[in-house]
């Protein structure tokens, strides 16, 4: 009986020792994970909460290993406890953080198949009253930070013929009162995606942008904290009524659903043979209609009163050609 149990006991002992080693040394655990087959590695920035954290969970369930970028020690500790995840201290506005994250990924020996540029902030305010420093902060995270991280990890992604996916927003198409800074940054992400896709095509690297509508996240809380820290006084603004209406909205966004569909789009963009360039992911028909209508409105405005304008028949012909060229899902 004892002889029969020895192989079982030896196996259990090996598993226990491996678990203890993983708990004691996360870096060694990540190196061991790198030697396991099948799990391609994906870096997710802004992975601590909201859409980013949802992405981490979806990716590990889909069979990926995730490098989860976050800034706060408490978030890094939480992320580091997840299976098939290594937490990386990564503020996309700090070049030293980006360099250190790259060195860590290179040292692990797993390579990098995917980059999910998800870190972002929202700056809100009337454009004619906005401090220049606020606008710089908005672009430093949402645009320059995206380019900074992409530039650093591009060699690894070229080597793996991988994928780059950036979290945009339907705000990159829509724009309105007080939302100018955020919409400007997400509109820049649209151009970033198209230019990068053209430049990376020769290397076999796919490039996509995911454009979510309203889902549960911490973005409204972050906006409220930012406004409070800057001592906002709506009564001193020319847009006092708009400020008050915005500040009266719920801050926890609990009225919106979990961003599972956003993460599903990321998984598709990483794994599909022919990923979409754009993934508009919205929770209802109203947000879809608003966004598509706005895009068509811009087309009509571009076409109006210019010497080479298309008539209705010409526009419909163009639309039919574009629909026919759209890759099948």
Catalytic annotation, pick one of 67, 113, 182, 215: 182
Main-chain dihedrals φ then ψ at residue 109, nearest 5 degrees? 80, 10
Query: What is the separation, in whole angstroms, between the first and last Cα of the chain?
Result: 57
3-state SS of 202-267?
A: HHCCEEEEEEECCCCCCHHHHHHHHHHHCCCCHHHCCCHHHHHHHHCCCCCCCCCCCCHHHHHHHH
Tokens coding 96:
């030293």
Candidates 252, 67, 277, 48; CA nearest to 157 is 67
Tokens coding 238:
């020319």
The Cα–Cα gap between 149 and 7 comes to 48
The Cα–Cα gap between 160 and 114 comes to 9
Annotation marks residue 67 as catalytic: no
Active site residues: 182
């Amino acid at each position: 009986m004892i002889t029969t149990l020895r192989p079982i006991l030896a196996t259990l002992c090996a598993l226990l020792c491996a678990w203890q080693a993983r708990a004691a040394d996360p870096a060694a655990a990540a190196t061991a994970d790198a030697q396991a087959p099948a799990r391609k590695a994906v870096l997710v920035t802004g992975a601590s909460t909201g859409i980013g954290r949802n992405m981490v969970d979806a990716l590990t369930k889909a069979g990926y290993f995730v490098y989860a970028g976050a800034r706060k020690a408490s978030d890094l500790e939480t992320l580091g406890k997840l299976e098939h995840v290594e937490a990386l201290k990564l503020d996309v506005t700090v070049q030293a953080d980006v360099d250190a994250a790259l060195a860590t990924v290179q040292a692990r020996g797993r390579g990098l198949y995917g980059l999910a540029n998800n870190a972002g902030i929202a700056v809100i305010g009337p454009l004619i009253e906005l401090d220049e420093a606020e606008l710089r902060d908005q672009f430093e995270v949402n645009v320059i930070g995206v380019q900074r991280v992409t530039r650093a990890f591009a060699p690894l992604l070229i080597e793996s013929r991988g994928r780059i996916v950036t979290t945009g927003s339907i705000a990159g198409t829509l724009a309105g009162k007080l939302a100018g800074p955020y919409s400007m940054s997400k509109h820049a992400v649209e151009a970033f995606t198209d230019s990068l896709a053209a430049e990376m095509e020769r290397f076999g690297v796919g490039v996509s942008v995911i454009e979510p509508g309203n889902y549960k996240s911490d973005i409204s809380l972050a906006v409220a904290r930012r406004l409070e820290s800057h001592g906002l006084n709506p009564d001193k603004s020319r847009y006092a009524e708009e400020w008050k209406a915005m500040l009266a909205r719920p801050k926890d966004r609990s009225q919106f659903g979990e961003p599972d569909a956003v993460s599903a789009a990321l998984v598709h963009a990483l794994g599909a043979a022919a990923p979409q360039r754009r993934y508009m992911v919205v929770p209802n028909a109203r947000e879809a209609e608003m966004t598509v209508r706005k895009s068509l409105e811009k087309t009509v405005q571009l076409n109006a009163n210019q010497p080479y304008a298309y008539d209705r028949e010409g526009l419909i012909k163009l639309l039919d050609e574009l629909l026919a060229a759209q890759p099948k899902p």
